[in-house]
Amino acid sequence: MRVLGIETSCDETGVAVYDSEQGLLAQALHSQVARHAEYGGVVPELASRDHLAKLAPMVEQVLKAADTRAEALDAIAYTAGPGLVGALLVGACYATGLARALDKPAIPVHHMEAHLLAPMLEADAPDYPFVALLVSGGHSMLVDVAAVGRYEVIGTTLDDAAGEAFDKTAKLLGLPYPGGPALSALAEQGTATRFALPRPMLNRPGLDFSFSGLKTAVLMVVRELQGVAGDQPPRPGATLSDQDRADVAASFQAAIVETLTRKCERALEQTGRERLVVAGGVGANSALRAALAQACDRRGARVYYPRPEYCTDNGAMIALAGVLRAESGGRGLPIGAAPRWPLGTPLPERRKRVA
């Protein structure tokens, strides 16, 4: 089976062709990071327009690189949610239109399901069952994965996502958007023990996360270093020395890494699973990778990651999720997109969708 995958949920246009026998045949990725950088975050309307401009030529380019005619595809998979509604609709309308023209099925893919299946793109893919830690800019969750399509969300964030916490802290330190990779590079120059930051939710039972308290604690530290009064706004990066910024970055990263690692250990213990899959943009963080590898080693468990470019948004994971879904009987031809769509549930009814 050969599937075209289309990702347009946020600020990356991703297109790929995956073949169940031959693996990934071709892929292309266009990042809009430069377009949004001057605004310090993703501007939804600009994102939709850029997807619209890039998608059709990218599909043409990928089909050519895969040496595949559109008629030879078995299905078109697209990210149907969750994400920015306008951005989702560009991909949904294009994919379902193409599917209708070709008289092939369109497969709506859950963006977080695609993230958690991304390690299956690798030669050394995990067997089921496993626990997945999904940590991206919009989501932080722990999922017990029994098999393709059998997901139980066992922990989630009560406020900010892990990537969001990285991005906001980075902004506070005057680092460019998106802040995660920049903050993690800066952290390497710093001393993680200089500031005692909270390890959110570790003293409470359960697998949920909360990062807003950590964000506030970092803000207090930065204000103090800047000598800014309590009722004044902080000045991003302004009066901090390079060493101060690096030490804040390192202390913040250590707090978030320890929190995520302990929650993963708890999730493995609670479910009795022996495999941990880490996916989503924050999964590219090397300190997190090292800590999880150590924690899993201690328990005799194994940790699996997709390579960094499959951790962040891409078309390959959507094409692969489409193949795995279709093979397990999950076809359908809904048109539309659901900006809110709980993992492990069917695509919401049309009245709850936007089209």
User: Minimum distance from CB of 270 to ligand KG4 (Å)?
Assistant: 25
Is residue 314 a contact point for Zn ion (CB under 5 A)?
no
Size of the site for ligand KG4 (CB under 6 A): 19
180 binds, among ligand KG4, Zn ion, none (CB under 5 to 8 A by kind): ligand KG4
Alpha-carbon distance of 340 to 337, in angstroms, equals: 9
- Contacting residue, 32, 136, 251, 314, with Zn ion by CB under 5 A: 136
* Contact flags string 303-342 toward ligand KG4, x per CB under 6 A: ---------xx-----------------------------
- Contacting residue, 84, 214, 285, 320, with ligand KG4 by CB under 6 A: 285
**Which residues are CB-contacts of 334 (< 8 A; sequence separation ≥ 6)?**
80, 96, 106, 108, 347, 350
Is residue 43 a contact partner of residue 329, using CB atoms and an 8 Å limit?
Answer: no
Is residue 10 a contact point for ligand KG4 (CB under 6 A)?
yes
285 binds, among Zn ion, ligand KG4, none (CB under 5 to 8 A by kind): ligand KG4
User: Which ranges constitute the DSSP H helices of the chain?
Assistant: 33-37, 44-65, 85-102, 111-117, 162-172, 179-187, 212-226, 242-271, 286-299, 308-311, 315-327
- Contacting residue, 86, 91, 126, 138, with ligand KG4 by CB under 6 A: 138
- Contacting residue, 86, 91, 155, 180, with ligand KG4 by CB under 6 A: 180
Q: DSSP for 212-239?
A: HHHHHHHHHHHHHHHT--TTSPP-TTTT
Alpha-carbon distance of 87 to 249, in angstroms, equals: 32
Is residue 67 a contact partner of residue 306, using CB atoms and an 8 Å limit?
Answer: no
Contact set with ligand KG4 (CB under 6 A): 10, 136-138, 163, 166-167, 178-181, 184, 280-282, 284-285, 312-313
Contact set with Zn ion (CB under 5 A): 136, 313
